[in-house]
Amino acid sequence: MKESAGGKLFSVIVHLVLILIALTCILPFLHMIALSVSEGHAVDLGRVWFWPVGLDFTAYEYFFENTPALRAFGNSVVITLVGTALSMLATVLTAYPLSRRYLYARKPLTTAALFTMLFSGGIIPTYLVMNQLHLTNTYWSLWFVGLVSTYNMLIMKSYFENIPGEVTESAQMDGCGELQLLGRIVLPLSLPMLATLTLFYGVGYWNMFMNVILYINRTDLQNLMVVVQGMLQIQSMDNMMAMDIMQQQELISEKLKAVGVMVMVVPMLAVYPFLQKYFVQGVMLGSIKG
């Protein structure tokens, strides 16, 4: 069927809007890349836009050799990997029972979980609980506080409910118990959802900031987000006084800030392409019931 003139105009407008939205995300990223690898004097004179002016990786060398960024990067990796694994395990073990229609008190338990999306204990009570358990200044405080996202758990529950009942019933008739049913049937059929929620949890742990500020006081345990944020707030480069004059001229604060932003963003960008196809499929299927 031939598209009308109004339909063509609407399609053009939609595409233009989407292009503009994409540019608002891409152009700042390109600008940060250009700043981080351009020569210092070009950055100082404001000559860098979306393409590097010269190539100079001095800022990257300084960032990893003379700041706690490398140690903080390792802390972020530990927090993200262990936290994501624990959260996925807890989410699966919560969502699976709630997805079984024969679970006793299934609806009240689901309602109780929904209640936590509207009301929480608050920052101060949560901190007091962590302090009483002697979990402050340990990563367990970060992992326990963000262990299960109710939103993610409900998405996974909905996904489990969409698995045909005939599949699980036939497995049970063959002698599968609940753990075998979960491990051999349900989880292999739920790889798109598992990949999607792994990405959700991973990004959340990698970008964790407020909880680290609240529960981690030791600088050697802080993650990359907190360390780089502290560097971004520094307007002067007093900590560079030990460097010679030529290095100070070429390694300015704006360039170092751009390096910090790149180090924070690139790891997640590197992981996302491998999970993109699962991400789209998992969210769409997990949001449909029936």
Residue 241 has what pLDDT? 45
**Residue 102 buriedness (CB in 10 A; 0-12 / 13-18 / 19+):** exposed
Report how far apart, in Å, the C-alpha atoms of 70 and of each of 26, 63, 64, 266, 268 are: 26, 8, 5, 15, 17
Other C-beta atoms within 10 Å of 235: how many? Answer: 7
* Domain regions of the chain by residue span: 1-56, 57-286
- Name the average pLDDT for the chain: 79
Choose the weakest-confidence range: 46-55, 83-92, 140-149. Answer: 46-55
Mean pLDDT across 69-88: 90
Residue 90 has what pLDDT? 93
Cβ atoms of 205 and 84 closer than 8 Å: yes
Assess whether pLDDT exceeds 90 at residue 87.
yes
Residue 19 has what pLDDT? 93
Residue count of the chain, please give it. Answer: 290
Assess whether pLDDT exceeds 60 at residue 175.
yes
Residue 82 has what pLDDT? 93
CATH fold for domain 57-286: MetI-like fold (1.10.3720)
Kindly report, residue by residue over 200-236, the tens digit of the pLDDT: 898 889 988 888 888 988 888 888 888 877 776 654 4
Residue 16 has what pLDDT? 93
Instruction: Identify the band that residue 20 occupies on the pLDDT scale cut at 50, 70 and 90.
Output: very high
Looking at the chain, the whole-number percentage of residues with pLDDT higher than 90 is 9
- DSSP letters spanning 139-158: HHHHHHHTS--HHHHHHHHH
Distance CA 115, CA 120 (A): 9
Residue with tokens 């210092």: 40
Region at 4 (left for phi over 0; alpha for psi -120 to 50; beta for the rest): beta
Render the burial of 121-152: b for 16+ CB within 10 Å, e for the rest: eeeeebbeebeeeebbebbbbbbbbbebbbeb
Cβ atoms of 146 and 83 closer than 8 Å: yes
Instruction: Identify the band that residue 41 occupies on the pLDDT scale cut at 50, 70 and 90.
Output: low
DSSP state at residue 113: H
DSSP state at residue 184: I
Distance CA 205, CA 200 (A): 9
